[in-house]
Amino acid sequence: MALATEQAGFKQIAVEDFRITEEPYYLPISDEVELFETAYRERVPVLLKGPTGAGKTRFVEYMSWRLHNRDGRGHEEGVPLITVACHEDLTASDLVGRYLLEGDETRWIDGPIARAVKNGAICYLDEIVEARKDTTVLIHPLTDYRRLLPLEKRGELLEAADGFLLVMSYNPGYQSALKDLKHSTRQRFIAIEFDYPPREQEAQIIAKESGVDPAIANDLAKLAEKVRNLKEHGLGEGVSTRLLVYAGKLIHDGISPRRACQVSIVWALTDDLEVQRSIEEVVSSIFE
């Protein structure tokens, strides 16, 4: 396959060649690593459930890196990771592939799933509920013993390469009648639940990711805990670890903690003035 071509300032790589080569920072909270490894070994599709910014994507990256090392082939290429961010206009052909006009002819282009299937990659469908219903049905034959991807327009079936695994993420937080995962879909996955880490671990993550000193990291984690108490009492979602890391980064670079929390947490979380003020009061109680 095409090698990564490095040009001035940026790197261009084909999606199927993307591999995590450096260990991403991931702090295991429970037995999720072991579970995932086992699932991968058994080629059981995995559904990652949890609120936004709780580390689902990071976990997949981490696992993809980890599986690469565990491959036994050492420096050899490991498991590629193909990530698809789902959105409501995501159609089946966006995933599988389509014909494009090229000159007087048409040319078939593989979609990300097809590429993952061919290359034995981990295919990570982020926020799967956002995708249109018909796309979710498409992945059904891939997720059971058949491990097949039908390419309807070409009249072909793709059999998945050995390393292929389908992983999806799903945020039950904005569950509504419209955006719920169909049972026929969800019952094809094992589900690993993610939640925001407990205070100590979260503080550790914040400190590590943002470089902020442990005391501040601990305060940020404390703040997170308090803000999450407001979930469903004014807030739709609790503050994500990701936002906390942002706040930590700003503080680390010299922004005052209150201000950093305001821009990266308060304003990011809600537009409701009353709720904003409440959170700001919590911020000002915690940070001097």
Partner 1 sequence: MSRATDLSLRYATELKGYGASLPDDFLAAANALEPRLPGAELDAWAQAGIDLAASSLRAWEAAAEYFRASPGVVERLGAEGMRDWSRIAAELSQRSSLMAAAFLKSTPEVLQSIRPGDLEAWSQQGDRLCRGNWKSIALSSLYFQVSPSLLHNVSLEALGRIVDIVDSLTERSYELATTCLETAPSIFASLPVPDREPFLRFARAVARASWADIRLYFERGPKLIEGIAPPERARYLDLAARVTAEVGRQGFPLFSDAAQALGTMPLELHARLLSFAERLSVGSPIASMEYLKSAPFVSSRLNEAQMAKWAEAGSNILNEEHNPEGAEAYFRLESARAEDMLALLSARVELSNVNQLLRMYAQALSGEPVAVQSAEALVDRNIGWVTESGATTEGNAIYLPPYVATFEEQDANFQVYKVFTTHQTGRMEFGSFVYEFGRDGAHAPGTAGRRELQVEEDRVNRAAETGVPMKEYVAPVTAMQRFFNMFEDRSLILGLFTIAEDTRIDAQTGREYGGIRRWLRVLQEHEANHRPPVELMGLRQAYMENLLRSSLGAPETMRWPQSLNEYLRRGIAALKVVELEGATVQDSAEVAQAIYDIAVAIPNVPESYADGKFDAVSEDMYQIAPGMPGEGEGAPNNMPGGEEMEFENPPQPEFRGDFKPELVQLMSKLKAQKDGSDDGPTAPLTKEQLMELLQNSAEISLGEWSEGDLDASLGAFLENIEQEAAKPAGDQKQSDQADGGDTPDGGKGDGGESDLKPEIDWFYYDEWDFRASDYRPRWTRVGERFSEQGDGEFYQETLRKYHGLVMETRRQFELMRPESFKKIKRLEDGDELDLDLAIEFHVDKKAGVGPQARIYNRRNKVERDVAVAFLLDMSASTDEEIEKQRQKYDTNDQDDFDGDPRKYFQWLAARRAKNAIEPPKRIIDLEKESTVLIVEALEAIGDSYGIFGFSGYGRDNVEFHVIKNLDEQMSETIHKRIDKIEPIRSTRMGPAIRHTIHKLDEFDAKVKILILVSDGRPQDHGYGRDRTEKEYAVHDTKQALLEAKRKGITPFLITVDKEGHDYLKQMCDDIGYEVVDDLETLPRRLPTLYRHLASE
Measured CA distances, 288 to 1, 211, 221, 222 (Å): 55, 20, 16, 14
- Output DSSP code: residue 177: S
Q: Which residues bind partner 1 (CB under 8 A)?
A: 98, 101, 219, 222, 225-227, 229-230, 233-234, 258, 274-275, 277-279, 281-288
8 Å CB contact between 52 and 173: yes
- In the complex, minimum distance from the CB of residue 214 to partner 1, in angstroms, rounded to a whole number: 14
DSSP assignments along 13-53, one per residue: --GGG----SPPP----SSHHHHHHHHHHHT--EEEE--TT
8 Å CB contact between 203 and 245: no
- In the complex, minimum distance from the CB of residue 219 to partner 1, in angstroms, rounded to a whole number: 7
- In the complex, minimum distance from the CB of residue 63 to partner 1, in angstroms, rounded to a whole number: 32
Looking at the Cβ atoms of 5 and 285, the one nearer to partner 1 is 285
Cβ neighbours around 269 below 10 Å, total: 21
**Residue 86 contacts by C-beta under 8 Å, 6 or more apart in sequence?**
125, 126, 127, 128, 129, 130, 131, 135
Looking at the Cβ atoms of 21 and 256, the one nearer to partner 1 is 256
Looking at the Cβ atoms of 73 and 133, the one nearer to partner 1 is 133
- In the complex, minimum distance from the CB of residue 28 to partner 1, in angstroms, rounded to a whole number: 25
Looking at the Cβ atoms of 146 and 179, the one nearer to partner 1 is 179
- In the complex, minimum distance from the CB of residue 180 to partner 1, in angstroms, rounded to a whole number: 17
Looking at the Cβ atoms of 80 and 257, the one nearer to partner 1 is 257
d(C-alpha 217, C-alpha 219), whole Å: 5
